[in-house]
Structure 1
Amino acid sequence: MVSTSSTGRFSDGRSTPSTPMSEAADSPAPNNSSKGMEIAPDGDIVLEIEHEVGKPAAVHSYRVSATILTTHSKYFASLLQPGRFSEAANVEAKHRNLREQYGEVGKAPPRELPALSIKDVGRVAVKSVGPLLGDFFNILHNREMQIPPPVANLANLAVVADRFDALEVVRTYLRRKKVMKMLDAKTTAKADLALGEERVRQRLLVGVLLDHTPWVEKYSLRMICKGWASKEVSVSAALWWDLPGRLEDELVYRRECMLETIQSLQSHFLALYSSRERQCKLGYDSSAQCDSFQLGEMVRFFTRIGTVQLQGTLIDVADPPEPHAGDLINLLDTLRQVPEYQIDKFHSHCGIRTRLVPMLDLLQRAIPHAAVCGECWEANRTDLAWLGAKRPLLWRKGDSGLYGTGHRHAGIRDFFTATERQWS
């Protein structure tokens, strides 16, 4: 929401105004205004920003340069474009009066400058938006901020930069200050692995909005493997709880496809040992009894670890189970624990272990490549996203797209999204 203090109130609803903003009745400035911050000593405009964190919400004032705002922020460039909205005409009229009075607008005291009142700085999570907006406007004016800021502050800063369509100048500033490298250097491997969901989400949001691709790949994979991607979130939650650009939905879908792939491997062996094709490896003395024994032990193992649920088909008496909520890597490790069952001492390697473990190795090598590639997601997400892509009818073991070096996005996607997989 935006309004001008001397020309009436008006509002916007999006990051960059694209249609004329509705004007409402004049109203006085709130009495709970906080002390103003002078970002540009010779600034020619005052921003009065109110973001409802507490009640009553405080109003934070910033003396800034309109020229710098319009240079680095498409939001302000649109808002203050001459002839487009009434706000620009009101600011220019006030500037003419101040130039007549002071010679230069920058010599006028802050209380006489034209003021824009803005509500809503984006889906941030802070006790007070004052310091956060101070950092943002300092970056726009190429002034110093605390380096390196905590990751939570950086995530909130990215949200504000996105809200005001000023991501590029913030990206450039942070690259020049090598902020991401400093944060990585301060975080040990042990501390990184111990990060909770919110901290991981904050880093992923920073990686996406501020174009730090290593964080996109690392933390998107962690969210997929941990099962932290969610389909539902409150609209009042911070932006990192609802990742933008369909990324949240993409992570949910990738995990679903990966779980389906793991389940297809389990189904493959259940179908083999339930078929008429003999699986016993004893040669001429192979027996149906051995296959039946192996099938029973396999079902018992899968049931014990919670990956199979036996249910009758005569009548539906139970709701479908919830999708697996645990870590995918831990799930593969659990499946590796399947014993090499033997019906007697002569029947060695008749079970699934010797065939299952190499397939689990294949899955474990493929999973890291299921992460969202930050570079490709930014440049070509339409072609490389899994969500909405046409699913291959069949994946065969040995398909070349799964192997090799470099980017293997298409091959990995085909492997995990195929409607049917030929494991042997």
Structure 2
Amino acid sequence: MNSDYPPLTRPGAEPIPPAAEGTQNSPEEIEPNEKKKKKLPYLSKDSKRGSRNSSSNLTVICPDGDMIIEYVESSSTGNRYWQLSSQDLMHNSPYFQALLDPNKFAEGRLVAEYKQRKAPNGADLTSSVNTHGNFDALGFDLPIVKISETRLTKLCGAGAIELFLKILCAEGLGKDKQVIFDSELKVMPPSIVVRTIEIAESFSSPNIVKQTLRRAWYMFGKTKISWNKFGSPLLKQTEERVRQIIVIAEFIGDYSIAKVMMHTLLVMGSKYWDGRPEPPATDHLRWQYLPGGVEEELYYRRQCVMNTITDLQAHFLRVYGGLEEIPKTNDLMAASTRPTLGTTFSTSIPHSEYLRYQCRAGFGNGSQCDLFHLGQMTRFFALKSKSIFLGSTLIDPDFSMVEDDDDKQNGNPQTPAYATPPSAIISLFASLKQYPDYQIDTTHHGCGVRRRILPVLNGIEKYILDPRGLLGIDYKEWKDSSKRPQIEWSSKTSRKGHTVDIRFEKIVGIHMSSPKFSFVTATTSEDEARLLFTAKKRNWESYEGLMRPGT
């Protein structure tokens, strides 16, 4: 048995300890001097069939198979049976290679004894086996090897076990039948394939499944969607399907599809991300919580994107006076040398610093113009895009008042109903880009936020809409311990306290807080996106980058 696989166990059982003379004993083992005393578990027409041996529960995978796999389901009225070739199982599965070894397990001795009981002339008596469950051909029966139900097999289902067994025996069916099987496997739903992968790994036999999926050019279901190109068709898929394709693509080594689908999951959001993601307390399959730190990393990246959008809104609320910020003196001096597009200044505020008006008209009612746009902006963000929440800091967030009957009937709850923002990032961008071109009067045309926020939104959105899936994880680098810190957004290596200068739709400068590395350049689009969304500070309307040579 391959040393790369875990110790051989029957699914749901403890590892079987080695015997004194190099053999392993199982509960079904038959001692040499008792073989004639105990009835071997053969399936024949003389057996008590009932629902247990019902012919409807039998699937003939190999017509000339020399053994039966019986799967015992606790929640079913009858067990499942598959006729298979022991040679194919042993050739393609390290698990069955060991289990059917006559020197190790009783199951192996059972199958070996059956082969020895063939007719003296060497005729293949199993060719007489038909699909109706008559296994008493010419007086010989087929041996049965049981697979007990476990928590994993219960989650995956008998259908996944059957597909796994078909894959193990596909090569022995002949070239024509193998082509037919591959064509069927090519378009099977991801839901059954991803469970088959789980079964294969539990039986220490992932390689043959991986090779078969690659040989069949698995297409992730009956669809014409390009899974390696992000777009609106992917956002129409269910979260379960997206997650299942991530697991399958990673398993077969198609990292480009896995990356795009992770980007899709990040953009659409997850029902498992209401709070900080944690592994489910109950039994679950890997696609329900992506292992290896991937689930946490995708959640963190999504939060970084949301934080960037929040930071952009805060910038405009701040410059229009909606959020308090006392600028530093050197910032004010630098601001006075920059292009101001008709900006005026006010010295009537109670600070010792200056506050720039955003009004472009230059008239005496510039203060009223700014206040008008602040009110319209707050109203739009809170009620239209639902991307900010206006609440109170004077009340305990866990406090609630009991509603009386009149309030319930009139639809007037005592506690406020919080507005829910769009769950998909695409919907959030679409909502924000509907910002109207408000103006206080005709002489203040262009004083509003729309002309300033739309280019910046387009600059952020280009990373979201990129068909390459820039926000997804590159599994090849993720698995490399030397490269992972450079691509992991949540690592301390990525969080260097850098500042990004943005002007219109472009990043015009990236500089670190450390004097040793004052300015840096992104080498790839993925790196540029990471630096933007993980920045400690963003200068949203920066002129500094435009004034530096070479930018």
**Residue matched to 1:223:** 265
Q: Does structure 1 residue 422 correspond to structure 2 residue 539?
A: yes
Q: Does structure 1 residue 161 correspond to structure 2 residue 200?
A: yes
Q: Does structure 1 residue 332 correspond to structure 2 residue 429?
A: yes
Letter in structure 1 aligned against 2:165? F
Does the 8 Å contact 1:273/1:291 carry over to 2?
A: yes
* Aligned counterparts of 2:387 and 2:232: Cα–Cα separation in 1: 30
Aligned counterparts, 1:139-150, within 5 A: 139-141=167-169, 142=171, 143=173, 144=178, 145=181, 146-147=184-185, 148-150=187-189
Q: Does structure 1 residue 32 correspond to structure 2 residue 129?
A: no
Aligned counterparts, 1:20-419, within 5 A: 20=17, 32-33=52-53, 35-40=57-62, 46-52=68-74, 54-56=75-77, 58-65=79-86, 68-69=88-89, 72-73=92-93, 75-76=95-96, 80=99, 88-91=104-107, 93-94=109-110, 97=113, 101-102=117-118, 113=143, 115-120=145-150, 122=152, 129-130=158-159, 132-141=160-169, 142=171, 143=173, 144=178, 145=181, 146-147=184-185, 148-180=187-219, 183-185=222-224, 194-228=236-270, 230=272, 231=277, 233=280, 235-236=282-283, 239-274=286-321, 275=325, 276-282=354-360, 285=363, 287-305=366-384, 306-317=386-397, 324-367=421-464, 368=466, 369-377=470-478, 382-383=484-485, 384-388=487-491, 390=493, 391-397=495-501, 398=507, 399=509, 408-419=525-536
Using the TM superposition, give the Cα deviation of residue 324 of structure 1 relative to its aligned residue in structure 2, in angstroms. 4.1
Letter in structure 1 aligned against 2:355? E
* Aligned counterparts of 1:39 and 1:353: Cα–Cα separation in 2: 65
Q: Deviations over 1:82-138 (max 9, x none)?
A: 8xxx9934355556655665599x978895647253433846767x615x4333222
The count of residues paired between Structure 1 and Structure 2 equals: 404
* Aligned counterparts of 1:87 and 1:322: Cα–Cα separation in 2: 68
Using the TM superposition, give the Cα deviation of residue 355 of structure 1 relative to its aligned residue in structure 2, in angstroms. 1.8
* Aligned counterparts of 1:377 and 1:81: Cα–Cα separation in 2: 38
* Aligned counterparts of 1:24 and 1:18: Cα–Cα separation in 2: 10
Give the 3 Å change call, closer, same or farther, for CA 123–413 of structure 1 in structure 2: farther
Give secondary structure in 1 for the equivalent of 2:71: strand
Does the 8 Å contact 1:217/1:373 carry over to 2?
A: yes
Letter in structure 2 aligned against 1:395? T
* Aligned counterparts of 2:292 and 2:153: Cα–Cα separation in 1: 15
Give secondary structure in 2 for the equivalent of 1:173: helix
* Aligned counterparts of 1:11 and 1:202: Cα–Cα separation in 2: 26
Superposition CA RMSD, Å? 4.4
* Aligned counterparts of 2:103 and 2:306: Cα–Cα separation in 1: 53
**Residue matched to 1:5:** none
Using the TM superposition, give the Cα deviation of residue 158 of structure 1 relative to its aligned residue in structure 2, in angstroms. 3.0
Q: Deviations over 1:33-74 (max 9, x none)?
A: 56554545676765333355x3346243443436x5455445
Using the TM superposition, give the Cα deviation of residue 245 of structure 1 relative to its aligned residue in structure 2, in angstroms. 3.6
**Residue matched to 2:46:** none
Give the 3 Å change call, closer, same or farther, for CA 303–220 of structure 1 in structure 2: same
Identity %: 24
Structure 2: gaps spanning 5 or more residues: 1-8, 19-23, 30-39, 42-48, 127-134, 326-353, 400-416, 502-506, 512-519, 542-551
TM value normalised by structure 1: 0.75
Using the TM superposition, give the Cα deviation of residue 352 of structure 1 relative to its aligned residue in structure 2, in angstroms. 2.0
* Aligned counterparts of 2:214 and 2:52: Cα–Cα separation in 1: 37
Q: Deviations over 1:165-202 (max 9, x none)?
A: 43332232222222318844378998765433333333
Give the 3 Å change call, closer, same or farther, for CA 161–117 of structure 1 in structure 2: closer
Does the 8 Å contact 1:342/1:348 carry over to 2?
A: yes
Structure 1: gaps spanning 5 or more residues: 1-9
**Residue matched to 1:7:** none
* Aligned counterparts of 1:404 and 1:388: Cα–Cα separation in 2: 18
Does the 8 Å contact 1:139/1:173 carry over to 2?
A: yes
* Aligned counterparts of 2:255 and 2:241: Cα–Cα separation in 1: 17
Q: Deviations over 1:212-236 (max 9, x none)?
A: 3343233322222222251465734
* Aligned counterparts of 2:431 and 2:168: Cα–Cα separation in 1: 51
**Residue matched to 1:6:** none
Give secondary structure in 2 for the equivalent of 1:371: coil
Give secondary structure in 2 for the equivalent of 1:421: strand
Letter in structure 2 aligned against 1:60? Y
Name whichever of 346-355 and 316-325 sits farther off: 316-325
Does the 8 Å contact 2:361/2:447 carry over to 1?
A: no
Bigger Rg, which one: 2
Does the 8 Å contact 2:246/2:258 carry over to 1?
A: yes
